[in-house]
């Protein structure tokens, strides 16, 4: 039908190659919509809940449904997700991925933390409850990237709040999570060469000059505490921070 033609929308919002073309529409009395301009059209997503606006099996998300269902099982029972259930969870994760990529470009960092956390919970659920090795491992290749986006968004939130110290902590938490991930995947040697790690280290380098002078004393105290507790991974991170502050 003529009224369904969206040509006028596309005409007034030209696609610009080389970046994320996204915007949020705030309409009074209606939930906000996220629009993503593609070369051949337009995507419209919900900003809250599932990006497609559906409520699968009466839940806000499919993840929420399975979390409720699995929690209700008798203690000691470890039910598995079927191949189809894992596939549907992966499809939901793809929706959230498209949304948080656009939201990051728009500087909506709180929503990015929310959506990346959602996807990491899907990864955890499939890893723990998948009925076969393929379903348990398929999403793991994406875990470092999602961890990195979440750490970056969390750090950006802290910078918006005027707290470079907390931003540094968010980045360090992401680095520690990445190190643990590579170790759990049996690929600890990949940590130093990882693009995700290098990206977070670069972001941390940019933050270091913004830390107050008193931060060095605090870092030295934390380093000693980490060494006393034999937490050598954290100690290595703190040493790097001190080295950057002294340079």
* Model pLDDT for residues 10-42, shown as the tens digit of each residue: 889 999 998 899 999 987 777 889 999 999 999
Q: Residue 246: pLDDT above 90?
A: no
Q: How far is CA 245 from CA 189, 202, 207, 214, 226, in A?
A: 27, 14, 10, 11, 19
Q: Which residue has the tokens 């409720």?
A: 68
CA–CA distance from 105 to each of 92, 108, 118 (Å)?
21, 8, 19
Listed residue (19, 18, 47, 12) closest to 31, CA to CA: 47
Quote the pLDDT of residue 78: 67
**Predicted confidence (pLDDT) per residue in 132-184, tens digit:** 999 999 999 999 999 999 999 999 999 999 888 899 999 999 999 999 999 99
Range with top average pLDDT, 51-65, 206-220, 228-242: 51-65
- pLDDT for position 1: 45
Of 122-131, 152-161, 225-234, the range with the lowest mean pLDDT is 225-234
pTM of the model: 0.81
74-to-63, 69, 77, 208 alpha-carbon distances in Å: 20, 11, 6, 50
Name the band, by pLDDT with cuts 50, 70 and 90, for residue 227. Answer: confident
Q: How far is residue 160's CA from residue 152's CA, in Å, rounded to a whole number?
A: 12
Which carries the bigger pLDDT value, residue 218 or residue 235? 235
């Amino acid at each position: 039908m003529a009224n369904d033609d969206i040509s006028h929308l596309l005409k007034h919002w030209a696609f610009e190659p080389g970046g994320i073309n996204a915007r949020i529409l705030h309409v009074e009395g209606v939930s906000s919509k996220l629009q993503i301009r593609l070369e051949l059209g337009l995507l419209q997503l919900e900003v809250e809940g599932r990006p497609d606006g559906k409520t699968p099996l009466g839940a806000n998300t499919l993840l929420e449904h399975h979390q409720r269902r699995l929690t209700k099982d008798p203690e000691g029972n470890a039910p598995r997700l079927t191949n189809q259930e894992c596939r549907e969870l992966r499809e939901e994760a793809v929706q959230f991925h498209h949304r948080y990529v656009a939201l990051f470009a728009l500087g909506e960092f709180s929503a990015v933390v929310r959506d990346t956390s959602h996807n990491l919970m899907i990864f955890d659920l499939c890893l723990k409850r998948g009925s076969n090795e393929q379903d348990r491992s398929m999403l793991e290749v994406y875990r470092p990237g999602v961890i990195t986006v979440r750490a970056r968004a969390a750090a950006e939130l802290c910078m918006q709040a005027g707290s470079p110290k907390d931003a540094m902590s968010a980045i360090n938490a992401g680095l520690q999570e990445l190190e643990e991930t590579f170790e759990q995947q049996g690929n600890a040697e990949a940590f130093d060469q990882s693009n995700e790690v290098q990206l977070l280290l670069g972001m941390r380098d940019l933050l270091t000059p913004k830390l107050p002078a008193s931060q060095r004393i605090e870092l030295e105290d934390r380093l000693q505490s980490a060494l006393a507790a034999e937490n050598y991974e954290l100690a290595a991170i703190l040493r790097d921070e001190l080295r950057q502050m002294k340079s």
